Amino acid sequence: MAVTRARTRRALTLLAVGAAGVVGLAGCTVGGSSANTDSSVLSVAASAAVTTWDPVRSFSTEALYLGNVYEPLLWKNAEGAAEEFTPAIAESWEVSDDGLTWTFDIREGATFHDGEPVDAEAVAASIEAAKDHAGASFIWAPLETIEATDDSTVVMHLAYSAPMDLVAASTYGAWIVSPKALEASAGDEQYFEVGIDAGTGPYTVKSYSPGEKVVLEAYDDHWNEEALPHYDIIDIAITPDAVTAQQMLTAGEVDLATSLPLENIDTVASDLGSEVRTANSPFNFVAFFNTTRPPLDDPKVRQALSYAVPYEDIIEVGGAGYGTQAHGPVPKGIFPYSEDVPQYSQDLDTAKTLLAEAGHADGFTLNLTYASENSAEARFVPLIKDAFAKIGVTVEVRAELFNQQWENAKADPATAQDIFVVYYWPTYSDAGSDNLYSLFHSSEAPFFNLSYWSNAEYDALVDEAGTLTGSDRDAAQAKYEEAMNLLVDQAPGIFLYDAQAVSIVPTGLEVADFNENYPFTTFFAPIRPAN
């Protein structure tokens, strides 16, 4: 592994200091980690696997790395920030009154890691590639044409109004990629997979060992001098097991761990003398009812079951208390979330009354499936079973790998499960066009609508709201709220809880706040040693 001379010297100093630290600390504490010294290497344990390095096709957990290596036109700021967006590759942008024409001014002086300049042509080519074959290409569906009118101007013409600012800030399918790499990958689909990157971000991929390690190196020519990284090297051990990550963090082998077992968070934090930080996340738990057959085709039965669920206990057990009861399927902090959307709360008497009115006083039996790799679901599903038993409903529970659970659910609603527990998040920061549409808008073949629910009134509301989002967001919000009210009333699913993002910021580090718009990304550039 080639390391430059200057870096080697710095690292040597670090090792000497580290060794002295270990000797000095022997017997009193473990964890004299490099975070406490003036180091240029930040070591991290992260659970995120890389399914692809192709920035166009990427649609999974590799966003952790890609978000440091690539940049979109705009970054969407976390809920509560003064500005909604931070300009990245675009310097400014404007939209026509009808929401159909979006003009982006491209920043001058930015370069791709492979040396190519960033201009309007490169941006248009990236977005065309994304529209053509991105994993999340559907986010560009409203886009009819995109043209570079001059070196620094890109104009998007839409078929119908849509929020292109949100789309351009998506965590999937919106990275701006070097035209040279796009061309190379067009002929060779494996082009990126060895860990090649062609972005503009503050870090570049230095090396990649599949399933094992990702090393990022600071990109010294990044356009934003104010945001230059504080660490030269980010050394990331891919650690799928959260308990192992915890061991590594507490033993001082890594400075930062991106996922820790929720139930141990408090212990780890007090061991390390560091704070626990929580933030909104886009992750949300829903339990779909199979609405195609009795007894769950009856809204009254679905309402009864919604009244039987112990929401607070589920958050306590499933999320170790880190969560809030959901207002419909839109996660807290993401458009068009609203506190005004009603919630059910546990009321077993009402539940029994409703069941009796629906002619099911003696109860019935349902089967429920959940994803076995999701430990939160494994913990809270028994609570649903117990609660339903109290109103005479027997639940048979089955754990399946998500992939299998989903495959079975899509195959044939008539023979599918009665209740399907899902952990969902929107692809970009518009849960109207994603959660509300994907999960509950009627569709011919089920994909994510696994309650198989079909309601013309709901469909109309969501369709209308979708076209309003680009031109009049307040009007869209109002329509979506109407749709959510209807959804909660008709209860095609149980709206369980919005999970919180929980992290431990080790002492000695300053870390930026979690941004729910980029839930899989840990931004490394702003991380620095605390003074």
Partner 1 sequence: MLRFLASRLGTAVLVLFVLTLVVFVLSRVIPGDPAVVYAGPKAPPEELARISEKLGFDQPLFVQYFTYLGGLVTGDWGNSLATKQPVLDELATRLPATLELLFAALLIAVVFGIVLGVVAAKRPGKALDGAIRFLAIGGVSMPAFWLGLLLQVLFVGRLGWLPATGQFSTEVEYVSPIAHVTGFPLFDSVITGNWVAYGDGLAHLILPALTLAAYPLGLIARMTRASMLEVLGQDYVFTASAFGLRSGIIRWKLALKNALPPTMTIIGLAAAYTLTGTFFVEVVFNWPGIGQFAVNAMLAVDYPAIMAITLLGAAGYLIANLVVDLIQARLDPRVRLS
Which residues sit at the interface with partner 1, rule CB under 8 A? Answer: 1, 3, 7-8, 11-12, 14-15, 18, 25-27, 29-30, 34, 41, 43, 49-52, 57-61, 133, 135-138, 190, 193-194, 209-213, 233, 235, 237, 239-241, 243-244, 247-248, 250-251, 253-254, 373, 400-404, 406-408, 427, 445, 447
Nearer to partner 1, 295 or 466 (CB): 466
Nearer to partner 1, 101 or 137 (CB): 137
Strands (E) located in 202-298:
203-209, 213-218, 233-238, 256-257, 275-289
Q: What are residue 413's phi and psi, to 5 degrees?
A: -55, -30
CA pair distance 371, 377, nearest whole angstrom: 7
Nearer to partner 1, 60 or 77 (CB): 60
Nearer to partner 1, 15 or 227 (CB): 15
**Closest separation between CB of residue 41 and partner 1, Å?**
6
Tell me if 372 sits within 8 A of 315, measured CB to CB. no
Nearer to partner 1, 43 or 291 (CB): 43
Nearer to partner 1, 177 or 416 (CB): 416
DSSP one-letter code for 37? S
**Closest separation between CB of residue 171 and partner 1, Å?**
11
CA pair distance 15, 217, nearest whole angstrom: 19
Q: What are residue 203's phi and psi, to 5 degrees?
A: -125, 155
Cα distances (angstroms) measured from residue 92 to each of 74, 102, 173, 211: 9, 11, 20, 39
Nearer to partner 1, 15 or 20 (CB): 15
- Listing DSSP states for 155-188 in one string gives EEEESS---HHHHHT-SSS-----HHHHHHHHH-
**Closest separation between CB of residue 367 and partner 1, Å?**
15
Q: Is the peptide bond before 229 cis (omega within 30 degrees of 0)?
A: no
**Closest separation between CB of residue 516 and partner 1, Å?**
17
CA pair distance 4, 7, nearest whole angstrom: 5
Nearer to partner 1, 135 or 299 (CB): 135
CA pair distance 304, 384, nearest whole angstrom: 13
Greatest CA separation for the chain = 79
